[in-house]
Structure 1
Amino acid sequence: MGVDRPGRQASRGRGTRLSGVTSAAAPELPIARVLPLLPLPHLDREFDYLVPAQFDSDAKPGVRVRIRFAGRLVDGYILERAATSDHTGKLGFLDRVVSSERVLTPEITELVSAVAHRYAGTRADVLRLAVPPRHAKVESEPVAELPTITAPTDVTGWDRYTHGGAFVDAVRANRSPRAVWQALPGEDWPRRIAEIAAVTASSGRSAVVVVPDQRDLDRMTAACESVVGADSVVALSAGLGPAKRYRRWLAALRREVSIVVGTRSSVFAPVQNLGLMVLWDDGDDGYAEPRSPYPHAREVALLRAHGTGCAVVLAGHARTAEAEALVDAGWAHDLLAPRETVRARQPHIVALADSDHALARDPGARAARLPAIAFEAARAALKDGLGVLVQVPRGGYVPSLACGKCRNPARCRRCNGPLSLPSAPGADGAGSPTCRWCGIADTNHKCTVCGSRTLRAVVIGAHRTAEELGRAFPGVPVHTSGGASVLDSVAPGPSLVISTVGAEPRTPGGYGAALLLDGWALLGRADLRAAEETLRRWMTAGALVRSGADGGRVVVVAESEIPTVQALVRWDPVGHARSQLDERVEVRFPPAVHVAAIDGTTAAITALVDNTALPEDTEILGPVELPEGQRLPAGGGEDRIPGDVQRILLRVPRRDGGALARALADSQAASSAKKNTEAVRVQIDPIRIG
């Protein structure tokens, strides 16, 4: 293969014959520059091919093609047509044009390149995320006309926020404002977003709204349809079948709709004349793509807004340090409600430490292991005919026990395994602590450190909590939400809803109370984002509760002196995000800096770092163990990857982020060209660092 210019090669091969028939090249612009979908980093470049005359009308930039590369047929996209090629050798012909549908628009082509450069990846990998697989039958379906959308007449809901009306006016006037919006507790946020999306669509532009999961997608789609009609909205998600997903994706590409709502990958939706990007709850870890090059939907949305000049809104009840950094830099502006409005809308919030002294003398409260104030809040809400939301950190039953006096983990006297409680008490020791390893009940357990016989749960799961609360409040319906059974909503009326974090269902009119249990289990995680994530989870639950003026109460079981707890009590996500950003600046972690995490065997990651032309101010941290729960590089099993998989962190100032990504991409390409097959994973600014 001859190289015709930096980053571009020409194809050599037998491509002058198509299906046994000799072909002539197209008379005008006979050269197609093709990006093949190849997994090797050193082949992330365009290759020149001749366009057969019979493909001239279909071989347009953006279409899928098949090419012969190194003796085999591979998929690719035409990026442009040209009159000449700098390659002096023999060029091959396109094997065929898969479809005349121009699925890769110029805007998405530029976005794909920007994302690949940002995350030290290849365009082929990004394209697999951006463009769904083809479904031939769908492409032959007729194109629908774009419905006319009238701007909504009532957008007064935005007037509750300082400069909210000016923000809507700026969207209407195509001035492309950039904002970080903190939605009020109890806010009908899907309706608010639908209103600004409709304002955008009424001016002839398109809007893309990205949400983290299917429940939010259903709510957001319904809200948009109620404002602009079902014919103007399309919902995209990975759970759709191939035909349905491709049909809806084509509707966005062909300008059959003005508003696209979807989950993570819809940030690449190929809409025409993009006017607005909205990302709800950008702190949700579902926005982090688990496939190479591991982009985050928030960063893709920001890259797209920067490239197109469209309006962009990062929205949520809480705020991430990344969103606060945008406001701090002046790139985006706050969209907040006045403090008096926040105080009027938030529930009454009380923090109480999880201690034995906080448990009530009431037998029912002790059975449910609820502090007195939490038990009373639940009882009052149920008496008023309202639901009570109970948020727990995990599903299942009690995973482990500890001494009630000294908090030393309770271990089996026979095998030293962890002790836990069975699902329900019974006779013959069935309610006694039982070893999770050997299964033997320890009816006379005594702490090996202090000798106490009392035990306490380290973390109580949703199902265990449901059983205990059911006994404490007999006759009250109990619902559980989490794991494989997540509820979208529950009917109004007195009930107990036990939910794991992130699975809280809505109820009409809001809950009368919310009990946020085992707060230390969320705050105590060894994670850079533990405090930020905890506040986000708490605020998501608290936003489902009625205002304090209407009797709504939230009890968080955690030490009241903790800054995150205080931020919840004040309902101050902005102040908390500001403090989190200041901490990141002090300890030099994202978003204050850029970090690359390189995972692989010790030899592989050391070789990659040693062969990378790192920026001058790069700091190397590690190697360290992989974060708990992190899958192995390349998706391979342990039978393919040696057991000494580790992680090295490369840290650079923000100004050198682009240089670091380019250097790592070049190093991976060089390693790939040398046919180094040892698996290494490179992630830029991963959400979990260690």
Structure 2
Amino acid sequence: MTPSSDDALLPLEAVRPAQSSKDTKGAPVPAPENPVARVVVDSPLPHLDRPFDYLVPGTMHETAEPGVRVRVRFAGKLVDGFLLERVPESEHEGRLTPLERVVSPERVLTPEIAGLARAVADRYAGTLTDVLRLAVPPRHAKAESEPRKTDPPADSQDQDTSESPPPAPSPSAWDAYPTGSSFLDALRDGRAPRAVWSALPGARGWAGAVAEAVRATLDGGRGAVVVVPDGKDVALADAEFGRLLGPGRHVALTADLGPAERYRRWLRVLRGEVRAVVGTRAAMFAPVAELGLVAIWDDGDDLHAERLAPYPHAREVLGLRAHRTGAGLLIGGYARTAEATQLVASGWARPIVAARTTIRTLAPRVRPAGEDAELAKDQAARQARLPSIAWRALRLGLESGPVLVQVPRRGYLPALACRHCRAPARCVLPPPAPALAFLGRRTRTRNRARKPVSPGRAGADRAGYPGARPSCCGPAGCGPAGCGPAGCGPAGCGPAGCGPAGCGPAGCGPAGWAGAAVSWAAGAQGWPRGPVLPVVRPGGRRLAVPVLRQPAPAGRRHRRQAYGGGARPGLPLRAGADLGT
């Protein structure tokens, strides 16, 4: 009986050609379990932002665990990478490249940090390797090879005193807030409260309250991460943590520690030796096990924004981490930012605010200057640098302590003062009509040749105003001869004077630095005159003139006169000009 065609078929192994010794020679033997490793390679290219499958040799079966640093061959080069996970098989149909070596058996990338890094990269449109570069510090072989502190001696200062922490402070810093005690109770019970905290100003500060929140979290059997703007805040929080938590129960992470010490402290957190971390923005990725609280102080500080790609913000990263792990969140500061207010408005977080009576007691009183009632009492406050209400506040504040004066920018107002008595030079008479006509003629004929105005002509322009003089010498007074007790000639006020066209024997004319023509023209055209402060350079031969906020004149020649060279007779002086002797 002839067999059928189906019965004549042989197994595939029987017809498959045997592999030659050339193909099997030197081939690595796969690991007995989960021989495929998924590795994220250190590549900045966005289209390579995904894990790649590699073969785990049998010799690396014990050391190639998820989270270790590895070296792989990628595009013909040896590159660094992190082993994310091991799976039984790969979707790749071709031959897999084996791992070159395991850099260190330390599992530096935990699954929680790996998932957080992926979420941050997706949120900020970055790559996973860029975020991992921020999350995992560079390896320090000496610090990594040091033995772990398992059972320190009884007389060691680094002994963990977690079983006998210091007593809780009384009264608590959270007693001033109506919902403060419930927030601490939720942390002790293992819940995940999310709050935006408006801290009260005062001598107690914010670090003690944050330390109490961390202690409540540790009492509940979970860990905490606190992020602050700079090293000064880290030192302040570190001292409070040591006082409330006890020695050895927390670590402080800053860039000033150096690579070895920073990596040593980071390993203590990774290995579970400590469960509380305080540091700058890099601490937001601290691998704390069983995270129960993430806190950030002063989230409006620009130091919380990372300077490297993909430029994550510590507040956003901690918010993602709290959402993914089910931990509590505390956003604190003396002022609430717009982002924190949005979290409260959406209901995702709850506010922690003191009562209004407590805020009025501790917070300073703020009164804006420039109100209509104050301006009605003091008309000069419109042009004054410090109005009368500010002077009263300064005087009252100095009776009880120091006073801080904050101004929009630093600087001074240059002015002209007497060489002998340092009194500011001001013209005390109203402007004459000929002076205004003189300025109008000079403006229309700006391209004509100019001649210095003589003291006689300056006096003629001020006809009808006998006894005209600048009021610059205090009780001693100035005669028609000039601005000092010894008098001034036509050349001005000595070495620090104002030029040949200045305060001559006829007083102030339209060509002078403080003449009625210049001063009144500034007020007539709407330019604010403002206060004049006498500023004299010690030992110098030149003085500055009052600042006139005038628009730049048009024309090339007028631009040269306004911004280059000294002042010219018969023209309004430019802002900040210096007059030679």
Superposition TM-score tier, normalisation by shorter sequence = 0.5 to 0.7
Matching residue of 1:121: 126
The alignment of Structure 1 onto Structure 2 pairs a total of residues equal to 419
* Structure 1 counterpart of 2:269, from 252, 274, 279: 252
CA distance in 1 between counterparts of 2:413 and 2:106 reads 54
Q: Report how far residue 387 of structure 1 moved.
A: 2.4
Matching residue of 1:242: 259
* Structure 1 counterpart of 2:47, from 42, 60, 76: 42
CA distance in 2 between counterparts of 1:445 and 1:30 reads 93
Pair 1:391-2:406 in alignment: yes
Q: Which runs of 5+ in 1 are unaligned?
A: 1-15, 411-420, 456-690
* Structure 2 counterpart of 1:429, from 542, 566, 572: 542
Deviations 1:391-425 (A, max 9, x none): 3455x646999x99689799xxxxxxxxxx99966
Q: 1:184 to 1:269 in 2, by over 3 A?
A: same
Q: Report how far residue 156 of structure 1 moved.
A: 2.5
Secondary structure at the counterpart of residue 406 of structure 2:
strand
Residue pairs, 1:63-74, within 5 angstroms: 63-74=68-79
CA distance in 2 between counterparts of 1:407 and 1:92 reads 80
- 2:218 partner letter: A
Pair 1:148-2:165 in alignment: no
Bigger Cα displacement from structure 2, 143-152 vs 84-93: 143-152
Secondary structure at the counterpart of residue 37 of structure 2:
strand
Q: 1:353 to 1:82 in 2, by over 3 A?
A: same
- 2:66 partner letter: P
Contact between 2:166 and 2:246, CA under 8 Å: does it hold in 1?
no
Matching residue of 2:390: 374
Q: 1:335 to 1:100 in 2, by over 3 A?
A: same
Matching residue of 1:52: 57
CA distance in 2 between counterparts of 1:243 and 1:168 reads 36
- Identical pairs, percent: 50
Contact between 1:432 and 1:443, CA under 8 Å: does it hold in 2?
no
Deviations 1:291-317 (A, max 9, x none): 111111111010000000001011111
Q: Report how far residue 52 of structure 1 moved.
A: 2.1
Residue pairs, 1:528-607, within 5 angstroms: none
Matching residue of 2:315: 298
Secondary structure at the counterpart of residue 330 of structure 2:
strand
- The structure whose residues are more often strand, as a share, is 1
- 1:378 partner letter: L
CA distance in 2 between counterparts of 1:422 and 1:61 reads 71
Pair 1:165-2:170 in alignment: no
Secondary structure at the counterpart of residue 89 of structure 1:
coil
Matching residue of 1:500: none
Contact between 2:545 and 2:575, CA under 8 Å: does it hold in 1?
no
Contact between 2:194 and 2:350, CA under 8 Å: does it hold in 1?
yes
CA distance in 2 between counterparts of 1:445 and 1:180 reads 64
Matching residue of 1:333: 350
Matching residue of 2:193: 177
- 1:148 partner letter: S
Deviations 1:568-595 (A, max 9, x none): xxxxxxxxxxxxxxxxxxxxxxxxxxxx
CA distance in 2 between counterparts of 1:188 and 1:104 reads 36
Deviations 1:439-473 (A, max 9, x none): 97867899x9xx69898xxxxxxxxxxxxxxxxxx
- 1:185 partner letter: P
Q: 1:144 to 1:28 in 2, by over 3 A?
A: same
Matching residue of 2:340: 323
What TM-score does the superposition give when structure 2 sets the normalisation length?
0.65
CA distance in 2 between counterparts of 1:399 and 1:34 reads 65
Contact between 1:430 and 1:441, CA under 8 Å: does it hold in 2?
no
What TM-score does the superposition give when structure 1 sets the normalisation length?
0.55
Secondary structure at the counterpart of residue 404 of structure 2:
strand
CA distance in 1 between counterparts of 2:178 and 2:68 reads 46
Contact between 2:414 and 2:546, CA under 8 Å: does it hold in 1?
no
Contact between 1:282 and 1:314, CA under 8 Å: does it hold in 2?
yes
Contact between 1:181 and 1:335, CA under 8 Å: does it hold in 2?
yes
Residue pairs, 1:485-504, within 5 angstroms: none
Q: Report how far residue 89 of structure 1 moved.
A: 0.6
Contact between 1:35 and 1:45, CA under 8 Å: does it hold in 2?
yes
Contact between 1:205 and 1:258, CA under 8 Å: does it hold in 2?
yes
Q: 1:116 to 1:423 in 2, by over 3 A?
A: farther
Matching residue of 1:130: 135
Residue pairs, 1:159-308, within 5 angstroms: 159-186=175-202, 187-308=204-325
Residue pairs, 1:357-372, within 5 angstroms: 369-372=385-388
Q: Which runs of 5+ in 2 are unaligned?
A: 1-22, 151-159, 416-520, 549-559, 577-581
CA distance in 2 between counterparts of 1:189 and 1:407 reads 49
Which structure is richer in relative contact order (CA contacts within 8 A, separation 6 or more)?
1
Secondary structure at the counterpart of residue 53 of structure 2:
strand
Contact between 2:39 and 2:84, CA under 8 Å: does it hold in 1?
yes
Q: Report how far residue 433 of structure 1 moved.
A: 7.4
Secondary structure at the counterpart of residue 99 of structure 2:
coil
Matching residue of 1:110: 115
Q: Report how far residue 266 of structure 1 moved.
A: 0.9
CA distance in 1 between counterparts of 2:196 and 2:137 reads 30
Q: 1:151 to 1:303 in 2, by over 3 A?
A: farther
Residue pairs, 1:499-510, within 5 angstroms: none
Q: Report how far residue 23 of structure 1 moved.
A: 3.7
Contact between 1:429 and 1:443, CA under 8 Å: does it hold in 2?
no
Contact between 1:433 and 1:443, CA under 8 Å: does it hold in 2?
no
Q: 1:37 to 1:376 in 2, by over 3 A?
A: same
CA distance in 2 between counterparts of 1:163 and 1:122 reads 40
CA distance in 1 between counterparts of 2:88 and 2:35 reads 6
Matching residue of 1:139: 144
Q: Report how far residue 252 of structure 1 moved.
A: 1.3
Secondary structure at the counterpart of residue 249 of structure 1:
helix
- 1:165 partner letter: S
Q: Report how far residue 320 of structure 1 moved.
A: 1.2
Secondary structure at the counterpart of residue 367 of structure 2:
strand
Q: Report how far residue 130 of structure 1 moved.
A: 0.8
CA distance in 2 between counterparts of 1:377 and 1:215 reads 31
Secondary structure at the counterpart of residue 248 of structure 1:
helix
Contact between 2:305 and 2:314, CA under 8 Å: does it hold in 1?
yes
Q: Report how far residue 141 of structure 1 moved.
A: 1.5
Secondary structure at the counterpart of residue 261 of structure 1:
strand
Matching residue of 2:38: 33
Secondary structure at the counterpart of residue 255 of structure 2:
coil
Q: 1:115 to 1:445 in 2, by over 3 A?
A: farther
Deviations 1:113-167 (A, max 9, x none): 1111111111111111111111111111222346415485236221211211111
Bigger Cα displacement from structure 2, 103-112 vs 180-189: 180-189
Contact between 1:404 and 1:454, CA under 8 Å: does it hold in 2?
no
- 1:166 partner letter: S
* Structure 1 counterpart of 2:87, from 76, 82, 87: 82
CA distance in 2 between counterparts of 1:83 and 1:348 reads 68
Matching residue of 2:329: 312
Q: 1:336 to 1:424 in 2, by over 3 A?
A: farther
Bigger Rg, structure 1 or 2: 2
- 2:67 partner letter: G
Pair 1:97-2:102 in alignment: yes
Q: Report how far residue 217 of structure 1 moved.
A: 1.4
Q: Report how far residue 341 of structure 1 moved.
A: 1.1
